[in-house]
Amino acid sequence: MTRPITTICCIGAGYVGGPTMAMIAKKCPQISVTVVDISQPRIDAWNSSELPIYEPGLDEIVFECRGKNLFFSTDVEGAIRDCEMIFVSVNTPTKKTGLGKGKAADLTYWELAARTIAACSESDKIIVEKSTVPVRTAEAIEKVLQRNCPHDGVRFDILSNPEFLAEGTAIVDLDAPDRVLIGGKIENAKGQAAVDALVGVYSNWVPKENILTANLWSAELSKLAANAFLAQRISSINAMSALCEATGADVQQVSHAIGTDTRIGSKFLNASVGFGGSCFQKDILNLAYICECHGLPEVAEYWHSVVGMNDYQKSRFVKRMISAMFNTISGKKISMLGYAFKKDTGDTRESPAIDVGHGLIEDGAKLNIYDPKVAAAQIALDMGEEAMKSITCCKTHTESLTGAHAVCIMTEWDEFKTYDWEAIYGVMQKPAFVFDGRLILDHQKLKDIGFIVYALGKPLDPFLCSAEGAP
């Protein structure tokens, strides 16, 4: 029988670490949870009334547990020393330079975290991999830990516990996960005991049958595979959206029809301007790189095409806008509604709005960006100094729409559906164009008001069919 865990530390207070630890603290009042980060501003924000990330339902949980059994600190060493179990949820972006540039995962932060763990651990630790990492990282990390620990006899057990939460629904996903996956060295007794300890934490609220165990590599690969499969569904329906536009079919009718086949299922079949987020593209590139490294170029190519289709969808959207607006958008004001990669988050990582924005600016457009949760400073960081000369970050949707020639919907925020589109028509230039990249608006109503509407994957407005150079 494994002794229940009473002290947990989490390295990395980001989108994954913060919500996951808050949920553990809420569900396990007997466990003391400390979340640490090297970023002082981030920790200060976690300790304030303005949390550093926007996630529905998160505030309530943090405010309820903070100071009781949930703590946020920059004392990384102290928290490591005092705990039994360490979650590592640091960032693992795609490498920007060197071998595997643009493909492999950058494990700099992970390795640094591992070295810190090794240096200050004075007792046995169970290390839980939460960041998405390439398959077999656990093995490499174990070597770093064992060889760098100055204290004799300290044992490290590595587990992989991939995170399947999606931003915007993180709290719901954590509260009732489809499954929790725990990978470990289940072939030996000590490895099994470490797995049991983590199973013990989750079984405070997750039914036992939803907690799956696997060997380390299977667990690591499952995370990459799950994200690749999800992204592949979006690229598949997006490929269909182009065919629908070319032939007069309606992609929403197609996705409804195929989604009712229980073998296919209805989720992740919403055509869009493209998927974004910190995981999909990064994980597919990573998966493809692993395939290449194992002499499987055809498999790598197969997964690459999912990313290729996503890029195509974004550039197709830009071309559609340009051709609709008489092949020139130079000097035209375009309102961009939504900038985050999906609704209910302020996260902009790999957001399709970034590529679409650059595409429009390259053709000379002036952008008025409005997003309910994204700060102007973040937009400036993503778009770069040069592009910002053509961008105005707006505080309200009205500011963004006044005097605009066109509006493009980049994120499916609910509030966009509630706007007074008649009034909006009144303040825009004519002809007024709507380009709906998320299929959230009432297109017939917009047409009745007088807008020229492009809705991705829907039968084309005659005005757009006749547009020269239409993609």
Q: Provide the CA 248 distance to its chain's centre, in angstroms.
A: 32
279 is in an annotated binding site: yes
Q: Which of 5, 8, 15, 71 binds ligand ADP (CB under 6 A)?
A: 15
Query: Could you tell which of ligand ADP, ligand UDX, none binds residue 76, using a CB distance below 5 to 8 A set by kind?
Result: ligand ADP
Are the C-beta atoms of residues 48 and 88 closer than 8 Å to each other? no
Are the C-beta atoms of residues 10 and 22 closer than 8 Å to each other? no
Of the candidates 278, 413, 447, 258, the residue with the CA atom closest to the CA atom of residue 354: 278
The one catalytic residue among 9, 28, 65, 279: 279
Active site residue 279: yes
Of the candidates 74, 48, 70, the residue with the CA atom closest to the CA atom of residue 61: 70
132 is in an annotated binding site: yes
Residue number, nearest CB to ligand UDX? 277
Kindly list the residues in this chain that would bind ligand UDX in the complex (CB under 6 A). Answer: 163-167, 227, 230, 234, 268-270, 272, 275-277, 279-280, 341-342
Q: Which of 23, 113, 180, 387 binds ligand ADP (CB under 6 A)?
A: 113
167 is in an annotated binding site: yes
Shortest distance in whole angstroms from residue 59 CB to ligand ADP: 17
Size of the residue set binding ligand ADP (CB under 6 A): 22
Cβ neighbours for 91, distance < 8 A, ≥ 6 positions apart: 12, 14, 109, 131, 278
Q: Which is nearer to ligand ADP, 109 or 302 (CB)?
A: 109
233 is in an annotated binding site: no
Residue with token string 């705990």: 83
Q: Which is nearer to ligand ADP, 111 or 250 (CB)?
A: 111
Binding flag, residue 109, ligand ADP (CB under 6 A): yes
90 is in an annotated binding site: yes
Cβ neighbours for 213, distance < 8 A, ≥ 6 positions apart: 181, 182, 183, 184, 186, 195, 199
Q: Which is nearer to ligand UDX, 234 or 409 (CB)?
A: 234
Shortest distance in whole angstroms from residue 69 CB to ligand ADP: 21
Cβ neighbours for 20, distance < 8 A, ≥ 6 positions apart: 10, 87, 89, 130, 163, 165, 174
Query: Could you tell which of ligand ADP, ligand UDX, none binds residue 91, using a CB distance below 5 to 8 A set by kind?
Result: ligand ADP
Residue number, nearest CB to ligand ADP? 14
Binding flag, residue 141, ligand ADP (CB under 6 A): no
Binding flag, residue 14, ligand ADP (CB under 6 A): yes
Shortest distance in whole angstroms from residue 180 CB to ligand UDX: 12
Give residue 85's identity as a one-letter amino acid code.
M
Query: Could you tell which of ligand UDX, ligand ADP, none binds residue 253, using a CB distance below 5 to 8 A set by kind?
Result: none
Shortest distance in whole angstroms from residue 437 CB to ligand UDX: 9
Binding flag, residue 346, ligand ADP (CB under 6 A): no
Shortest distance in whole angstroms from residue 456 CB to ligand UDX: 10
- The footprint of ligand ADP on residues 256-285 (CB under 6 A) is 278
State both tokens at 371: 């997003």
35 is in an annotated binding site: no
37 is in an annotated binding site: yes
- The footprint of ligand ADP on residues 38-97 (CB under 6 A) is 38-39, 42, 76, 89-91
Q: Which of 10, 37, 313, 405 binds ligand ADP (CB under 6 A)?
A: 37
Q: Which is nearer to ligand ADP, 17 or 357 (CB)?
A: 17
Q: Exposed/middle/buried for 385, CB within 10 Å: 0-12, 13-18, 19+?
A: exposed
Q: Which is nearer to ligand UDX, 32 or 278 (CB)?
A: 278
Shortest distance in whole angstroms from residue 37 CB to ligand ADP: 4
Distance, in Å, from the CA atom of 394 to the CA atom of 410, rounded to the nearest integer, reads 15
Binding flag, residue 437, ligand ADP (CB under 6 A): no
Active site residues: 279
Binding-site ranges for ligand ADP (CB under 6 A): 11-17, 36-39, 42, 76, 89-91, 109, 112-113, 116, 131, 278
Tell me the binding residues for NAD(+).
12-17, 37, 42, 90-94, 131-132, 167, 279-282, 349
Tell me the binding residues.
12-17, 37, 42, 90-94, 131-132, 167, 279-282, 349
